[in-house]
Structure 1
Amino acid sequence: MSDFEIFDDRFKDLLLPDAKLEKLVTNCTWAEGPVYLKSGLLVWSDVPGNRMWAWSEEKGEASIFREPSNYSNGNTLDQQGRMVTCEHGGRRVTRTEHDGTIQVIVDHYQGKKFNSPNDVVVKSDGTIWFTDPPYGILPGTKEGYESDPDLDGCYVFRHDPISGETTLLIDDMLKPNGLAFSPDEQRLYVADTGGSHDPDAERVIRVYDVVDGQSVTNGRTFCHIDPGMADGFRLDKNGYLFTSSADSIQVYAASGDLLGKIRVPEVISNCTFGGPQGNRLYITATTSLYAINLNTSAASQ
């Protein structure tokens, strides 16, 4: 079977002549949250395993990056190249300093604990936007510590590390999960994984207009995901959205048109761009880390 399914000629422009999906590592429980560090390491979370892994392209090998990881999930970089992490176990968002120390960025809203911050993105102004579904506190969870929620729902938040202010931005989703900005930061995309516990829930990515860089409005459906659900995703420099699903990385134009699929033999959680040229798409999928070189790169490096 081909690694690709093409629905639009624009997808062909993303493929290099020798593009091929590679399996790099396969010993995870549930691989998530890939982030490419400026050091050249690709770091990702194994959420139920309570550890983080690192892949070195130079050495061609994986190693343990952090264990325990406080049930880390989503990761990203800030403008200083520091890793920002969502921790289910601590119900918080943290930052790893260049010396390796971990600083708490935010762990509550109006005196109440978060559910279990899941995925995170840092805007160009340094503000931190993150989702807060309950997967790390649900009964029987293996991704954190079972607990009753303090909050009355699952929301998307914005945290300003300068003022210390945390703002509730989005309250119209069942279980907000992956999120990312358009290249011009005028749109915020957010996956809703409410279908994980509600078979009737829509399996969608929603999109919101960003107002004055600080709030959002006009929430609407961007695309429906089939099969499976969108979990994490990234945008490239064309404004194309590369999202996880049950069978592939699905690639959507800004219009919401499905351009094509990069088939992956495991259920996918997330992806990120990296590598020396920035054109290597790393894919976390159930037990494994995959990669493929493409004719594109991240919306911002």
Structure 2
Amino acid sequence: MTPPLTPLRRRSMLQGLGCLSAGLAVGAAAPPAAEMAETVRPPDVTTTPPRQWGPSAPPSYTPDPDVLVIDRSFKDLLFGAATLHRVWDQGTWLEGPAWSSEGRYVLMSDTVTSRQYRYIWETGEVTVFRPESYHSNGNTFDYQGRQISCEHFLRRVIRWEHDGSVHVVADHYEGRPLNSPNDVVAHPDGSVWFTDPSYGTGFTEGHADESGGEANPDGRIRWRVGAELVGVVGGTKRQADHTFRVDPSGRVDAVLTQAQLPNPNGLCFSPDHKNLYVVSSGRQAGSNGHDGDLAIHMFDVQPDHTLANPRLFTNMRYQGVQMGADGMKVDVFGNLWCGASGPLGLCGVFVFNPEGHLIGRIRLPHGVSNLTFGGPKRNWLFMCAGESLYRLQVNTQGAGPA
């Protein structure tokens, strides 16, 4: 049993704990030098015998030993003959998977290399989709099939129109630039909802603040180094956290403030859009900011588009360990599938029923940053975890458009 952990910072949880299997690998004699060049990852140790991943891995067992049933109801959501597969492992930090029903591909961001990729359904290939995405993170497709992306570097939310032009959905609130929009969902009424924490105000996923900003309080960070558009497009000093709704008219309203929910991260609607789920994450390493509670919160969506009746959906504690929630989606039955980071053997995907009870887990060798339901029938779960994309066929469907 791993001892209880103190609240963890978001990136230190994802990378420090990181679910790295190297330190936990099964002991064995050192391989010959010629073989070591090809052994880029030791076998994972979450299953017995140890599981291997990738195209050269042996056939998986069924039922899959890393798809764990906690409550009998989870079995109804599974296809018993399905097994987990790593379909790509050439990313750096993959985020924001979204399914294009028209294009029949899974779009995803690499927030570190500032590229967008797509997994093509018919061939299983992963190709570069946009070679420069301005460190995009969350993505979705609205109910008209248009791509919406959160750009950390330019600190804005954009929409790609069908004619190939770009529309800026939001880049300011009350006259102040945004921080680093993180995750985004579309509503059937044409509105766009997104979270705006500080996770892109650093070296890795965007750029730091100018001197005196919260992400660069003493001015030691050379915030203009390495990119020509720093400070030309987008903000240079962060403001307080918010969760926003952008009306079809273009008006930007804050539905949650930093005081109400700090460090907002993943968000999604219930299938009937009467409830909104939002993750409150920990502080990013080096951000000089504040901590969230690492929990998933639930709100009622009012007819006037405000939020009411705030309540805890789950505290994300499991077996005495504080896990970290990230991106999440709901299926057509109202179950919430959430990326979870934490120790090896616990991280992966947590699945909660509509009442907030944990009914199942998917165990992976990395914490999952975000996930989506894809495939023509929307019955394949795609999971971004570290540098890799995983998939699993399930017996349910995603509720949202992407």
TM, length-normalised to structure 2: 0.71
Match of 2:262 in 1: 174
Q: Are residues 12 and 213 of structure 1, via their aligned partners in 2, closer, same or farther at CA, if it must alter by over 3 Å?
A: farther
Superposed displacement of residue 102, structure 1: 2.2
Query: What is the Cα deviation at residue 28 of structure 1?
Result: 1.0
Percent identity among equivalent residues?
Answer: 40
Q: What SS class does the counterpart of residue 324 from structure 2 fall into?
A: coil
Which residue of 2 is the match for residue 116 of structure 1?
180
| Counterpart code for 1:6 | V
The yes-or-no answer on 1:32 pairing with 2:118 is no
> How many residues were matched structurally?
298
Deviation of residue 101 (structure 1)? 2.8
Q: Superposition RMSD on alpha carbons, in Å?
A: 1.6
Q: 1:21 to 1:185 in 2, by over 3 A?
A: same
SS state at 1:230 partner: strand
Q: What is the one-letter code of the residue matched to 2:208? A: E
Distance in 2 of aligned mates of 1:42 and 1:95: 17
Tell me the equivalent position of 1:202.
293
State the alpha-carbon separation in 1 of the partners of residues 173 and 81 from structure 2: 48
Question: Are positions 1:106 and 2:170 aligned together?
Answer: yes
Q: Secondary structure, in 3 states, of the residue corresponding to 2:240?
A: coil
CA distance in 2, matches of 1:126, 1:9: 37
TM-score (normalizing by structure 1)? 0.95
* Residue equivalent to 2:303: 212
1:71 equivalenced with 2:135 (yes/no): yes
Quickly say closer, same or farther: Cα 1:31–1:81, change in 2 above 3 A: same
**Structure 1 residues 195, 223: closer, same or farther in 2, change over 3 A?**
farther
| 1:54 positional shift | 0.7
**Are the equivalent residues in 2 in contact too, given 1:270–1:285 (CA < 8 A)?**
yes
Local SS of the residue matching 1:12 = helix
The answer to whether the 8 Å contact 2:198/2:238 transfers is: no
Indicate conservation of the 8 Å contact 2:150/2:183, yes or no: yes
CA contact (8 A) 1:195 1:203 kept: no
With over 3 angstroms needed to count, the CA separation of the structure-2 counterparts of 1:135 and 1:196, relative to structure 1, is closer
- Structure 1 residues without counterparts, runs of 5 or longer: none
Per the alignment, in what secondary structure is the counterpart of residue 125 of structure 1? Answer: coil
1:5 lines up with 2:100 in the alignment: no
Matched, 1:257 2:344: no
Q: Is the 8 A contact 1:241 1:251 kept in 2?
A: yes
Map 1:134-153 to 2 at 5 A. Answer: 134-138=198-202, 141-147=203-209, 148=213, 150=237, 152-153=239-240
Report the Cα offset of residue 201 of structure 1. 4.6
Question: Which one has a bigger Cα radius of gyration?
Answer: 2
Give the aligned partner of residue 35 of structure 2: none
Higher strand proportion (structure 1 or 2): 1
Quick check: 1:155 aligned with 2:250?
A: no
Distance 1:142 1:199 in 2: 19
Tell me by how many angstroms 1:300 deviates: 3.7
SS at match of 1:11: helix
Shift of 1:195: 5.0
Q: What pairs up with 1:273-288 in 2 under 5 angstroms? A: 273-288=373-388
**Distance across 2 between alignment mates of 1:28 and 1:217:** 39
How much does 1:258 deviate?
Answer: 0.3
> 1:30-50 CA distances to partner (integer Å, 9 max, x unpaired)?
100001112111110000110
CA distance in 2, matches of 1:77, 1:186: 20
Match of 1:80 in 2: 144
Q: Deviations over 1:70-112 (max 9, x none)?
A: 1100001111101111000111000112233322111100110
Q: Distance in 2 between matches of 1:99 and 1:18?
A: 42
Instruction: For residue 340 of structure 2, give the secondary structure of its aligned residue in structure 1.
Output: coil
CA displacement 1:254-295 (0-9 Å, x = unmatched): 111000101111111000011021101110001101111000
Residue type matched to 1:253 in 2? Answer: N
Q: What is the CA distance between 1:27 and its match in structure 2?
A: 1.1
Say if 2:218 is the partner of 1:131. Answer: no
Shifted more, 148-157 versus 113-122: the winner is 148-157
Q: Is 1:20 equivalent to 2:76 in the alignment?
A: no
Residue 195 of structure 1 contacts residue 202 of structure 1 at CA under 8 Å; is this kept in 2? no
Gapped regions of structure 2 (runs ≥ 5): 1-46, 48-64, 215-236, 342-346
Tell me, in whole angstroms, the C-alpha distance in 2 between the residues paired with 1:196 and 1:136. Answer: 9
Structure 2 CA distance for aligned equivalents of residues 29 and 101 of structure 1: 28
Deviates more, 1:224-233 or 1:167-176: 224-233
Residue 54 of structure 2 corresponds to which residue in structure 1?
none
Query: What is the CA–CA distance in structure 2 between the aligned matches of 1:34 and 1:61, rounded to whole Å?
Result: 15
